[in-house]
Amino acid sequence: MQPTSSDPLTLVYAKLFITLIHYSPPSQNLNHTIDLNGHPISKVEVTGIVVELRHYAEKSILTIDDSTGSLVCNFWPATTAQFPQLKNAPNLHALQESIELGCLVTVYGKLHIFTDKSYQPTRELNAHHLKIEDDEHAEMLHWLECIHLYDNVYSKNPPFENSSQFKLSKAIKDLLQFNPTTKDSLDLLPPSQPVFTADDLLKNKDVAAAVEEHIKEPQNKHSTKEIEITKFLNNLVQNGDLLSVQDETCQNSNKPLYKVVSFEILGPKVMEVIRSEYEKLPIKLYGVRDSHIFKILRTQDNLSHLKMNHVILCLNELVLLGLIYALSDSEFKVVS
């Protein structure tokens, strides 16, 4: 039996963009589960256009596209009918036959993560239920709900707000300016955000107080302040908020060094990827898609844990500064 999680998000269908399903790291403890900012997600709800479809006697295999990416969904009417919450659903075999290319659908299902025949990691969705959308605004509503839920739920730390773990995490993020409303608490790092170690963070009174409370917890009684701070910093690296770096001025340091992922770091890299990839396009009528930019950046040194939301925020800032054109919601080119 595999481990279970007490996170309430394991009990619901998480509304997600498809690109998050593909690029979120797999859970280290749970099978067929992704780790979304510390939340284990195994059941998802996606909405998109059917761009590929194959009907079989027992099931249908459809590929849906939500403009951020595409996802293969396996739909078994006979198996789906066994779910008690769908007793009042329409005839599922009739529903299967009514799926057509180009129709807008919402799929609720369980993630299936495996290695395909070419030894590539693959993610698909085994559908529990499928709904053909009649309202043309359903996709836009899904986008808005995904953004709202990510900002207010999925991007938040799983611990409860009164726990020492949450307080320590908040103190560290406030210090590193992850929360712009608490800049007054920043008394360590200058605006240039140099590299820092766990010891540097302990010089801040808020972080020191939070970690002191945290190590008093029974499960942490054999730990130390440095170990607990390092754990949190490594989690932020895994979440794409920090870079683990080697600073040339600190070559003799035997302690891990970190740097905040900022616009100053990411902006030039994004522009370089757009410029180089745009030159490769055979037809210059289109731009470089944000999902492709994200994929290229993750192959670069220290950016393997980068998250799509960092890229989107960076692209928006570059557009506002007039450094790149937005040819569409997801395609960009550098201003010449």
β-pairing verdict for 70-75 and 121-132:
parallel
Which tokens is 97 given?
């036959």
- Residue 247 to residue 251: CA distance in whole angstroms: 6
pLDDT recorded at residue 3: 43
Give the residue, 197 or 45, on which the prediction is more confident. Answer: 45
pLDDT at 109: 92
Lowest mean pLDDT among 1-5, 138-142, 191-195, 262-266: 1-5
Average pLDDT over residues 319-332: 85
What are the residues whose beta carbons fall under 8 Å from the beta carbon of 192, sequence distance 6 or more?
none
Domains of the chain: 8-154 (2.40.50.140), 164-260 (no CATH), 263-334 (1.10.10)
Cα 65 to Cα 258: distance, rounded to the nearest angstrom: 37
pLDDT in tens, 29-53: 778 899 888 788 999 999 999 999 9
Rounding to the nearest 10 degrees, give the CA dihedral for residues 76, 82, 84, 88. 60
Average of per-residue pLDDT values in the chain: 78
- The pLDDT score that the predictor gives to residue 176 is 73
Tokens of 14: 């998480």
C-alpha R_g of the chain: 22
What confidence score (pLDDT) does residue 195 get?
A: 78
| Cα distances (angstroms) measured from residue 178 to each of 52, 157, 226 | 41, 13, 21
Place of tokens 């929360």: 179
pLDDT in tens, 1-40: 344 456 778 888 999 999 899 888 887 677 889 988 878 8
In the predicted structure, residue 255 carries a pLDDT above the cut 70: yes
CA nearest to 30, candidates 50, 2, 8 = 2
Q: Is the pLDDT of residue 73 over 80?
A: yes
Structure confidence at residue 139 (pLDDT): 92
Cα atoms in the 13 Å half-sphere on the side-chain side of 308? 21
- Whether 145 has a pLDDT exceeding 60, the answer reads yes
pTM: predicted TM-score of the whole model, two decimal places: 0.50
Question: Which residue type, as a one-letter code, is found at position 24?
Answer: S
